[in-house]
C-alpha cells in the first residue's frame, strides 16, 4: 500500500504532526501492526498523535555580538509506562513533524524492550558544524531553560542524539540543577562519567546493533534458511558517527569484513576490508573521511548497493526508499538509525527474503543503557562496564527472541512483529489506566 492511498495518512494529512515522510511512515507501520493484531481502535488512534508538544524560540548571542533566533521543540508522545525518554538533536532539518515521529518511535522502543519509560524527543533547527563551542553552550543552556517545565528526572529525561553529545548533556544538567539549587544528575542521560554518566553508554547503541545481527544469524541457522558465520561475512555501514563507528568496530572484532563506511560527504570502500581502528583514528583526527588513503571513494548510494551480506544504515531516516531498494543486495539489514527504510522499501525487502531488524529493536541499546544510567543516578550506585554490557546483552536478547516469536505467530516481518510486541504491552497499560476524566 502506498503512502498516497493509505487512509490513515490521508486522514492525518492536514494535521500539524504529519508533514514529514518519517511521521507518515511511522503511522503507516503502526496502522499495519494494529490491524494485524486487532487492537482496540481507540488505543490505536491515541497512539497516532503525541500527548504534548512545545515549540520555542531560542535567542542566542553569537560570537560576533549579534542575536540569532533558533527554533526548538520538545515532544512527549506517550507517558503511560513512565517518564518520557528521548534524545535532543541539533540538525538543520529538524521540524515538529520529525521530532513527533521520533518521539513515537521512542514510545515503541521503550515498550518493546520492557523499560518503565515513555517516548519523547527534542531538537533544535541548526547546523551544529557552524557553531563555535561558546555558541553551542549558549544555545544548549537557553534551550534547556525554554523547556525546563517539561523535563525532569520523573517527567522527561533527555539524552544525546544527532549533533549533540555528552558535553551538551552536561550543560543541560548544570542549567537544570542551577535552577533547582542542587545537583540533579538524573535529569539527563548520556552524561560524562565524571558527573554521573554510565560506563558503556557511548558505545551502547552500536553494540546493540551488532548483538541483534548475531541473534539474526543464529535464528536463520536454526530455521535452516542459511548457514552464516559472522566471521565469514562482509558488511557495509552507512553513517560513521556515534552509532555506525561503534557498529563497524564491533563487527570487525568479531571477524566480519567491513568493506565500506560513509559520512556526510561520501563513502570509502576497500573490497579486501577496511582497517576499522585506523579509519576511526582518521575520522577523529580529520572530522570526516575525506582523503583516507587506503580505500577508494564511492557515493553513499553506491554503498547501499554493494554486494555485501550485512548492511547497517546508521545515519538518518529515509535512505532506502522505493527508488533505490531494488539495488540493495544485503541479506541482513540492521537499522542503526531511526526510520532509514521507508514502508514501501520495507515491504519489498521482506518479500524478497531480506532479514530486516527494525530500528526500535536494533538501535534500542542506547535507551536501554540510558535507563541503566538513570537508575544508577537515582540510586547513586554505579556499575562496572562488564555489568552494563552483560545487562544490555540480556535485555537485547530477550527483546529479539520476543519479536521472533511474534513474527512466527502472526506470520509477518520483524518490523510489524516488533510493533505488535510493543503495542501489546502499551495497549494493556493504557486500557488498565483508563481515560481521565
Q: Could you tell me the residue ranges of all domains in the chain? A: 50-182, 204-362
Q: Is the dihedral angle over the CA atoms 122, 127, 132, 138 positive or is it negative? A: negative
Q: What is the pLDDT of residue 10?
A: 38
Higher pLDDT, 12 or 56: 56
Q: What is the pLDDT of residue 15?
A: 65
Range 267-279 average pLDDT: 96
- CA 109 to chain centroid, in Å, comes to 9
Q: What is the pLDDT of residue 77?
A: 97
Q: What is the pLDDT of residues 79-128, one digit of tens each?
A: 999 999 999 999 999 999 999 999 999 999 999 999 999 999 999 999 99
CATH topology classification for 50-182: Rossmann fold (3.40.50)
Give yes or no on whether 50-182 and 204-362 have one common fold. Answer: yes
Q: What is the pLDDT of residues 212-235, one digit of tens each?
A: 999 999 999 998 887 888 999 999
Q: What is the pLDDT of residue 363?
A: 94
The C-alpha atoms of residue 103 and residue 215 are separated, in whole angstroms, by 27
User: Is 266 buried (19+), middle (13-18) or exposed (0-12) by CB count in 10 A?
Assistant: middle
Judge if pTM exceeds 0.75. yes
Contact (Cβ atoms closer than 8 angstroms) between residue 72 and residue 146? yes
CATH 3.20.20.70 fits 204-362, yes or no: no
Percent of the residues in the chain that have a pLDDT greater than 70, as a whole number: 97
Q: Calculate the CA dihedral of residues 163, 22, 26, 29 and round it to 10 degrees.
A: -130
CA angle at 383 for the pair 380 and 385, rounded to the nearest 5°? 145
Q: What is the pLDDT of residues 334-363, one digit of tens each?
A: 999 988 999 899 999 999 999 999 999 999
What phi and psi, each to the nearest 5 degrees, are found at residue 157? Answer: -120, 100
At 17, the pLDDT band (50, 70, 90 cuts) reads confident
Q: What is the pLDDT of residue 184?
A: 93
User: Taking all residues of the chain, what is their mean pLDDT, rounded to a whole number?
Assistant: 92
For the annotated catalytic residues, the residue numbers are 121
Contact (Cβ atoms closer than 8 angstroms) between residue 271 and residue 240? no
At 12, the pLDDT band (50, 70, 90 cuts) reads very low
Amino acid at each position: 500500500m502506498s503512502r498516497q492511498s493509505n487512509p490513515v495518512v490521508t486522514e492525518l494529512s492536514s494535521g500539524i504532526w504529519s508533514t514529514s515522510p518519517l511521521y507518515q511512515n511511522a503511522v503507516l507501520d503502526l496502522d499495519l501492526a494494529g490491524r494485524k493484531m486487532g487492537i482496540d481502535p481507540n488505543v490505536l488512534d491515541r497512539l497516532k498523535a503525541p500527548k504534548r508538544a512545545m515549540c520555542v524560540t531560542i535567542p542566542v548571542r553569537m560570537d560576533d555580538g549579534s542575536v540569532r533566533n533558533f527554533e526548538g521543540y520538545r515532544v512527549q508522545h506517550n507517558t503511560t509506562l513512565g517518564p518520557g525518554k528521548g534524545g535532543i538533536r541539533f540538525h538543520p532539518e529538524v521540524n515538529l513533524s520529525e521530532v513527533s515521529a521520533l518521539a513515537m518511535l521512542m514510545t515503541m522502543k521503550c515498550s518493546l524492550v520492557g523499560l518503565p519509560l515513555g517516548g519523547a524527543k527534542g531538537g533544535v533547527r541548526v547546523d551544529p558544524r557552524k557553531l563555535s563551542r561558546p555558541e553551542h553552550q549558549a544555545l544548549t543552556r537557553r534551550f534547556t531553560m525554554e523547556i525546563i517545565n517539561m523535563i525532569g528526572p520523573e517527567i522527561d529525561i533527555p539524552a544525546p542524539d544527532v549533533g549533540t553529545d555528552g558535553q551538551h548533556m552536561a550543560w543541560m544538567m548544570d542549567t537544570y540543577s542551577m535552577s533547582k539549587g542542587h545537583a540533579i544528575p538524573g535529569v539527563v542521560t548520556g552524561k560524562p562519567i565524571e558527573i554521573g554518566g554510565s560506563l558503556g553508554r557511548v558505545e551502547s547503541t552500536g553494540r546493540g546493533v551488532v548483538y541483534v545481527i548475531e541473534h539474526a544469524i543464529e535464528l536463520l541457522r536454526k530455521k535452516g534458511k542459511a548457514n552464516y558465520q559472522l566471521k565469514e561475512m562482509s558488511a557495509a555501514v552507512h553513517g560513521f558517527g556515534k552509532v555506525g563507528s561503534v557498529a563497524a568496530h564491533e563487527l570487525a572484532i568479531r571477524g566480519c569484513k567491513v568493506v565500506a563506511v560513509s559520512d556526510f560527504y561520501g563513502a570509502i570502500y576497500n573490497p579486501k576490508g577496511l582497517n576499522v581502528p585506523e579509519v576511526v583514528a582518521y575520522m577523529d583526527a580529520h572530522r570526516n573521511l575525506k582523503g583516507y588513503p587506503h580505500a577508494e571513494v564511492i557515493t553513499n548510494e553506491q554503498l547501499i548497493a554493494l554486494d555485501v551480506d550485512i548492511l547497517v544504515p546508521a545515519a538518518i531516516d529515509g535512505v532506502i526508499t522505493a527508488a533505490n531498494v531494488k539495488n540493495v543486495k544485503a541479506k541482513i539489514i540492521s537499522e542503526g538509525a531511526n526510520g532509514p527504510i521507508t514502508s514501501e522499501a520495507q515491504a519489498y525487502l521482506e518479500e524478497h527474503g531480506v532479514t530486516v531488524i527494525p530500528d526500535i529493536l536494533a538501535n534500542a541499546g542506547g535507551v536501554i543503557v540510558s535507563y541503566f544510567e538513570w537508575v544508577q543516578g537515582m540510586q547513586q550506585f554505579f556499575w562496572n562496564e562488564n555489568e552494563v554490557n552483560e545487562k544490555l546483552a540480556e535485555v537485547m536478547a530477550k527483546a529479539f527472541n520476543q519479536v521472533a516469536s511474534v513474527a512466527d505467530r502472526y506470520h509477518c516481518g520483524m518490523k510489524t512483529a516488533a510493533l505488535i510486541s510493543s503495542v501489546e504491552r502499551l495497549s494493556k497499560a493504557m486500557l488498565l489506566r483508563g481515560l481521565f476524566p
